[in-house]
Structure 1
Amino acid sequence: MIFIYYLILGLVYSTVGFFVIRWLMRVPRKGKYKALVAVIGIVVLLLIPTWDEIGGRIYLRHLCATQAGVKIYKTIELPAKYWDESGEPMFFNQYGYLDHDFWVKELDESGGRIERYSSIFSIDKDTSPVKERLGQKVLAEVTTFRFWGGWIRRNFSPNNVADSCVFISKPEFSREFYGQLFEPEPSQE
Structure 2
Amino acid sequence: MAFLFYLPVGWDVILGRAYFHYLCKTDAGIHIYDTVELGVEYWSLSGSPKFYTGRGKFDEAFFETKYEYRTVDNFPVLGSFLNIRNRLFQVFDNDTERVLGEKSHYYYGGKRVMNTWQPFSGGKRFSCLSNSDLPNNLTVARYPEDYSKFTSHIFLNKQ
Fold conserved between structures, TM > 0.5: yes
- Alpha-carbon displacement from aligned partner over 1:88-125 (angstroms, at most 9, x marks no partner): 32333445432464377442245836264334522234
Match of 1:66 among 26, 35, 59: 26
Q: Is the 8 A contact 1:60 1:147 kept in 2?
A: yes
Q: For structure 2, which runs of at least 5 residues remain unmatched after alignment?
A: 137-144
Taking a change above 3 Å as real, the CA distance of residues 131 and 162 of structure 1, as seen in their structure-2 partners, is farther
Change (3 A) 1:160 1:112: same
Aligned CA RMSD, in angstroms, stands at 3.7
1:133/1:154 CA distance change after superposition, 3 Å: farther
* Residue number among 139, 149, 153 corresponding to 1:180 in the alignment: 153
Aligned partner of 1:118 in structure 2 is 78
Q: TM-score w.r.t. structure 1 length? A: 0.55
Contact 2:114 2:124 in 1 (8 A): no
Q: Which amino acid aligns with 1:85?
A: L
Q: Which residue of 1 aligns with 2:93?
A: 132
Q: Distance in 2 between matches of 1:184 and 1:116?
A: 37
**Higher helix content, 1 or 2:** 1
Partners of 2:52 and 2:59 within 8 A in 1: yes
Query: Percent of aligned pairs with the same residue?
Result: 25
Query: SS where residue 112 of structure 1 aligns?
Result: strand
Q: Is residue 136 of structure 2 the alignment partner of residue 164 of structure 1? A: no
Residue 126 of structure 1: how far off its partner (Å): 4.1
**Partner residue of 2:68?**
108
User: Structure 2 CA distance, aligned partners of 1:170 and 1:100?
Assistant: 25
Larger relative contact order (Cα-Cα within 8 Å, sequence gap ≥ 6)? 2
Q: Which runs of 4+ in 1 moved over 6 A?
A: none
State the match for 1:148 in structure 2. Answer: 109
Which AA in structure 2 matches 1:179? S
Aligned to 1:75: 35
Seen in structure 2, the aligned counterparts of structure 1 residues 121 and 169 have a Cα distance that, compared at 3 Å, is farther
- Asked whether the 8 Å contact 1:107–1:133 carries over to 2, the reply is yes
TM-score (norm 2): 0.63
Question: Secondary structure of 2:150's match?
Answer: helix
**1:98 pairs with 33, 58, 69, which one?**
58
Q: Which amino acid aligns with 1:59?
A: Y
The Cα shift of 1:182 comes to 0.6
Q: 1:84 to 1:149 in 2, by over 3 A?
A: same
Q: Quick one: which amino acid aligns to residue 35 of structure 2?
A: T
Q: Which amino acid aligns with 1:81?
A: E
Count of aligned positions = 146
